[in-house]
Amino acid sequence: MVSDKKHMRSDLATIAKAVRRGWDVPEEVMAVLPKNILGVMVEARQRGDQRVYLRCVEVLQSMHRDNRDTYAMLDKIERLDSGQATERIDASLTVEQSAAMARNIARYAEYLSQDD
């Protein structure tokens, strides 16, 4: 994973790229990676190495984003397989929004009728 302190930032950048691009990383590596990155992050913060610390944060964010996107995709596939809706769009209006829309339509209708 992370080789030595001299190459730590480039190693972390490679890990982040692997996560973002969906490279085939062995499960056993992915299982321990967050804990290892967190350890490197704590050490970097204690040393005051902001660049390595921020690179660790970037890797952890990429991993979290990848997990979230995977779960969303799996949920969508399960919904498709079971015949449920895959996208939820709430098109309902509140009472106030409906009243405002009605007023605007009435004004527009009044405006159009004045041209006659």
> Where are the chain's structural domains?
5-88
Residue 37 has pLDDT above 80, yes or no: yes
3-state secondary structure of 26: coil
Taking the C-alpha atoms of residue 76 and residue 41, their distance in angstroms, rounded to an integer, is 34
- Alpha-helical (H) ranges within the chain are 8-21, 27-47, 50-82, 95-114
How far from 87 is each of 8, 16, 72, 83, CA to CA, in Å? 41, 30, 11, 12
3-30 residue pLDDT tens: 556 667 777 888 888 877 878 878 888 8
Residue 116 has a pLDDT of 53
Output the pTM of the full model.
0.56
